[in-house]
Amino acid sequence: MIRDHFRILTVDLATGKGKVVTLEGRDTEAGGSGLAALLFNKYGHPDKPWDDPEQPLIFTIGPLTGYFPLMSKTVCGFKSPYHNQYGESHAGGRSALSLRFADLDGLVVTGKAERLSCLSIGSRHLELIDVHYMRGIDLQRSGKMLRKMIGGAGHRSIFRIGPAGENLSAYACITVDTYRHFGRLGGGAVMGSKNLKAIAIQGDGVFDLPEGKEYAELFEEVHKQLTTTDMMDKYHNLGTPVNVAVLNAIKALPIKNLQQTTDPNIKGITGETFADDTLLRNTACAGCPVGCIHIGFVREKFMEPNQYLYRQVSYDHEPIFATGSMLGMTNAFSVLSIIDMVEKMGLDVMSAGVALAWATEALDKGIISEKETLVPLKFDDAAGYKEAMQHLGLGSNDFYRLLAQGTLKAAEQYGGEDFACVLGQEMGGYATGEVFFTSQALGFRHSHLDSGGYSFDQKHEEKNVEEAVKFLLRDEQGRVLLTSMVACLFAREVYTDELLANCLNSLGYTTLADNMHQVAQHIQKLRWRLRLATGFDPAAVKIPKRFTEITTWKGTIDKKYLNNLKKEYAKRILELGKEEEKEPKKKAPKKEE
């Protein structure tokens, strides 16, 4: 619904009761990332640990969610088990439209349920359902059970966790509608700590649209841009896995725990091979006609003679890099079989793949033994990695339980910090050079999507620290505006400032449209203040030695440039977090309904 304030549902899992709260801030925090930070400021506890029952788990959408194509993402805000600081993770699926049609701008879950539970909400209902019998059940099976239990197929979204979330892995994900994820920074463990197996959101509300033709005509214009031009071809065609061959060709693909950046035998796991051999179909987030979700399959012979089963597995560049090139895999189906196990366990695929890549090298170097790994991890051995992923999700022994808290945590105890591919959290799939490494290591979400550092590396030969850091900060600001609307970042070329302003104006958000730049600046600072208040020290961030040992198309990594980038970016982040703001100011809640 179009409104000049936020309508938030808060639910206390200890009592199973909720409250609808009306909150000011539409013109200052907009929604999405801005609203999540606003809500953490209101409901969060910077000084308490991430798993304190009082900590909120926050889901937010934005003013354009559901009203325009590709405004289809949800922001999840929480104090992360990975670093015990405030963090964000984003997901699509049907999550955003479900929240929109449940008539909520945000959902805040606090407290801890007495027994493992599923929170079921909609525009006209709220129920906490006891699902204690689902403890330990993998994500695929629990998905089937939940779908039968909750009505409204097609017009609902189900967020759920697997064993990794229940076991409080610091990189347990929250799976959304089977194929999408709030992947990074351990949102799944936050749900696990709250005894929350699932959240089901029924999108059963109906809203009036703006009078006149302006809105409908603008919608059609945007839809046409997205579907009849080549702007989204990359995502619709091969999808993000197109990057595998491209990065490999420029010596920028992390391979075998970043021991290599290119491999002449990459063909077995390129986007082209995935499409030719494994692609079953594409699917889409609700409200997005692009259809970037690529679904492949795994086929297993479980009995002689010729008895097979199959499962469908979604793939993208990041899962292929993390469980493919980083683990030295050479076959697309083998990669899918590892992703399949990661999905069952409910782990963040990037962190899990990179963690096992480190464990493989650590085992090879004799830092750890099979006593720890339980299986003889070897690059390109899919069967071993599948088993190890299960151990990681289940926390089979002390080693896997520690590794599930983060690769560096394990390296601190066992050794091997130099070759732990961690940039704030386990790295993304780009070994493009100094700017990307700095961008992820210090970025707000430690995500490859915080800003386009990988792109800057590829477009700039010169080593200008000032220009690079200026770019990272400016790009972050542009992206935080989009993630406050909440747009899919794949649409960032389509949703220019002008188009965003037109969209906001067509819905009556004229003040927001007039002040987008100031609002983006404000949200950027608000988020950094929160991050610093919860303990982040950008000056203390270390980039492991492995990142300085690689060779890209530009040659070897320039350690001095990397160090200067890190220092300057850290300095600017600290300044951003400390800067006093005149306007806009936050207001107190107007009323409670």
Contact residues for another protein, defined by CB under 8 A: 66-67, 69, 97, 100-101, 124, 143-144, 147, 153-155, 177-179, 203-209, 216, 219, 223, 227, 281-291, 293, 295, 311-312
Q: For helices 465-482 and 559-578, what crossing angle results, to 10°?
A: 50
Distance CA 364, CA 377 (A): 9
| Cβ proximity to another protein, 46 vs 205, nearer residue | 205
Q: Report, in Å, the least distance between residue 101 CB and another protein.
A: 6
Spell out the residues 6+ positions from residue 567 whose beta carbon is closer than 8 angstroms to its own.
Answer: 539
- 190: nearest Cα among 316, 51, 324, 64: 51
| Cβ proximity to another protein, 216 vs 539, nearer residue | 216
Question: Most distant CA pair in the chain: distance in Å?
Answer: 74
Under 8 Å between Cβ of 423 and 441? yes
Q: Report, in Å, the least distance between residue 286 CB and another protein.
A: 5
| Cβ proximity to another protein, 209 vs 383, nearer residue | 209
| Cβ proximity to another protein, 69 vs 416, nearer residue | 69
Q: Report, in Å, the least distance between residue 341 CB and another protein.
A: 16
Q: Which two tokens stand for residue 292?
A: 């970037």
Q: How many CB atoms sit inside 10 A of residue 443's CB?
A: 23
Q: Which two tokens stand for residue 301?
A: 């012979």
Q: Report, in Å, the least distance between residue 153 CB and another protein.
A: 5
Q: Report, in Å, the least distance between residue 2 CB and another protein.
A: 9
| Cβ proximity to another protein, 13 vs 173, nearer residue | 173
| Cβ proximity to another protein, 185 vs 342, nearer residue | 342
At 41, the amino acid letter reads: N
Distance CA 274, CA 268 (A): 8
| Cβ proximity to another protein, 2 vs 374, nearer residue | 2
| Cβ proximity to another protein, 177 vs 457, nearer residue | 177
The CA distances from residue 455 to 6, 151, 374, 465, in Å, are 35, 44, 40, 15
Q: Report, in Å, the least distance between residue 159 CB and another protein.
A: 14
- 179: nearest Cα among 232, 134, 143: 143
Distance CA 481, CA 471 (A): 15
Q: Report, in Å, the least distance between residue 239 CB and another protein.
A: 12
Q: How many CB atoms sit inside 10 A of residue 397's CB?
A: 14
Q: How many CB atoms sit inside 10 A of residue 447's CB?
A: 24
Q: Report, in Å, the least distance between residue 391 CB and another protein.
A: 26
